[in-house]
Amino acid sequence: MNKKFIIFNWKMNFTVSESVEFSNNILKCLTNFQNNNYEIIVCPTYMSLPYSYQILSNYVKFGAQNISSLHGDKGSFTGEISAKMVSDYAEYVILGHSERRVNIPESNFEINNKRILALENNLKPIVCIGEDLESRNSGKYINFLNNQLKESIKPILKNVIVAYEPIWSIGTGLNCDLKKLKEISDLVKSKISDEAIFIYGGSVNESNIFDYLSSDKVDGVLVGSASLNKTSIEGMINKINGN
């Protein structure tokens, strides 16, 4: 069995000192979590990445939340952070999260550029896709997701990691049920490859994490809010351990 992924996306939370404190607070729980069936990936801000890495990297992997689309290495690009720079600490990078697609706004074209730069710099991209509520309710979401897949992942690599995070489920408590997820997992596998890794994100917490991780349609979860709190991290880990 392939390892299932548990990705903690800390988004724009924690100052450096807060992330040091938080990393120390969850250290024991993550140290005790010896389970070869799972890969935990922590994604702090760029600033906190080296600090949390020092505390937790013996027990978990690390990811960045973004990289520059302008260059993979270095250059005159004020304010940018390259794939190569984060690769000192990160093995993964989250790309095209809806919060970036909507607020920046980031295009499929840019996301694909970042994906290529990530691969060239030994980072494994986690490409996010997801429709909004209007698209879901109008029934146009399959076309929408298809287009995101087609434009953000070309050329196609067989074992690409795709995170399906419907916008209507992020931070809302409206998590997507397994029946709906099966449809999207099948879409991703048919459009990309059977070997594509399918992750779900959106209001994952201790009450539902194990249902997702037990499904043969889901290869992992991406957790936002519930990864910002020690009690809920412990709760999720306990659920996975069967407590």
Among all residues, which ones are annotated catalytic?
97, 165
Residue 46: CB minimum distance to ligand PGA, A: 17
Question: Which lies closer to ligand PGA via its Cβ, residue 53 or residue 200?
Answer: 200
Question: Which lies closer to ligand PGA via its Cβ, residue 82 or residue 135?
Answer: 135
> Taking CB under 6 A as the rule, does residue 129 contact ligand PGA?
no
Residue 243: CB minimum distance to ligand PGA, A: 22
Buried b (16+ CB within 10 A) or exposed e, 115-154: bebbbebebbbbbbbbbeeebbeeeebeebbeebbeebbe
Question: Which lies closer to ligand PGA via its Cβ, residue 65 or residue 68?
Answer: 65
Measure Cα distances from 195 to 10, 133, 160, 191 in Å. 27, 29, 8, 11
> Taking CB under 6 A as the rule, does residue 63 contact ligand PGA?
no
> Taking CB under 6 A as the rule, does residue 220 contact ligand PGA?
no
User: End-to-end CA distance of the chain, in Å?
Assistant: 22
**Distance (Å, rounded) from C-alpha 11 to C-alpha 9?**
5
Whose structure tokens read 């939340």?
65
Quick one: which segment of 50-58, 69-77, 110-118, 197-205 binds ligand PGA (CB under 6 A)?
197-205
76 sits in the region (left: phi over 0; alpha: psi -120 to 50; else beta) called beta
Closest by CA position to 221, among listed 237, 198, 193, 188: 198
Choose, by CB under 6 A, the member of 25, 35, 215, 225 that binds ligand PGA: 225
> Taking CB under 6 A as the rule, does residue 176 contact ligand PGA?
no
Residue 206: CB minimum distance to ligand PGA, A: 12
Quick one: which segment of 37-45, 102-110, 163-171, 212-220 binds ligand PGA (CB under 6 A)?
163-171
Residue 235: CB minimum distance to ligand PGA, A: 14
Choose, by CB under 6 A, the member of 185, 224, 233, 240 that binds ligand PGA: 224
Closest by CA position to 52, among listed 227, 234, 195, 174: 227
Measure Cα distances from 110 to 69, 114, 117, 163, 192 in Å. 6, 6, 11, 17, 19
Give residues 99-128 in contact with ligand PGA (rule: CB under 6 A): none
- What does the binding site for ligand PGA look like in residue numbers (CB under 6 A)? 9, 165, 170-171, 201-204, 222-226
